[in-house]
Structure 1
Amino acid sequence: MTNNPYSSPTTDATTDHAASTVESGASVVELAKPVFLAWERLRIAYILLLGAFTAMLAMPGVISNGPQLLTFRGLIMIAEGAIVANVLYFAGPIVETYVRWLGYDRTWVRWFLFAGGTLLTALFALVSLASGLIPNQN
């Protein structure tokens, strides 16, 4: 068997990647379970942060046109955004599992992905709700 540097990692013990978690006998399921459980605990903070940010945008008096978000159309927009945000949240544990599968067991990866993803989602929320925040939009 040739040593192809572009091939996918395997559980074959004849490869040179001694630091790889896959070769140490851990399956992807064994790697993914603790990662996904940790991310599910972080989901509470994620929902609270984004919920507070969205509520702040919708509060009367905070932004000049905030009360427009409290219409039926505005509430539907907020609900759709919440569903999309929770689906996109799965990118964090998937990327972290992949990084761990490659053999890098770094805790900063989780925090970097969480902080960056939460800030990016808050920006998406602001942009998607901008039509309700900018006055005189038809």
Structure 2
Amino acid sequence: MFPTNLVKSYIDVLAQHLLSIVNSSFSTGVFPDICKQAVIRPLLKKAGLDKEVMKNYRPVSNCSFLYKFLEKAALSRLHLYLKSNSLYGKFQSAYRKGHSTETALLRMQNDAMFALNGQRDLILVLLDLTAIMRYF
């Protein structure tokens, strides 16, 4: 595996080869073995947790540039297919530009307010998202 900054420095030389690898992977349905490797490092779930307790860590996989490149290419093709065939759910927020957890929460709040104002039953399931909130 090559460092990402090295690959980016020579992208003009490597672009055609990367495109060939992506197209070959998509046409054969085979994911290159080199992309199936990752460096896994433990990351503390939250600042302030005891560093001596193993359950306070979660594994983080650092994948190769080629893996990330293939992943983005697949996502781009999938998004184009879903969008051009109107297959996204009407209220889907995940994996869409201009949509986020914030838009999903606003939608949920709006639906809850309409249900309560209309005196309809309402069931709300809450998830603890504190582990991912440190990224924002």
Tell me the TM-score range normalised by the shorter chain. under 0.3
- Taking structure 1 as the reference length, the TM-score comes to 0.23
Higher relative contact order (CA 8 A, sep 6+): 1
Q: Which has the higher strand share?
A: 2
Q: Which has the higher helix share?
A: 1
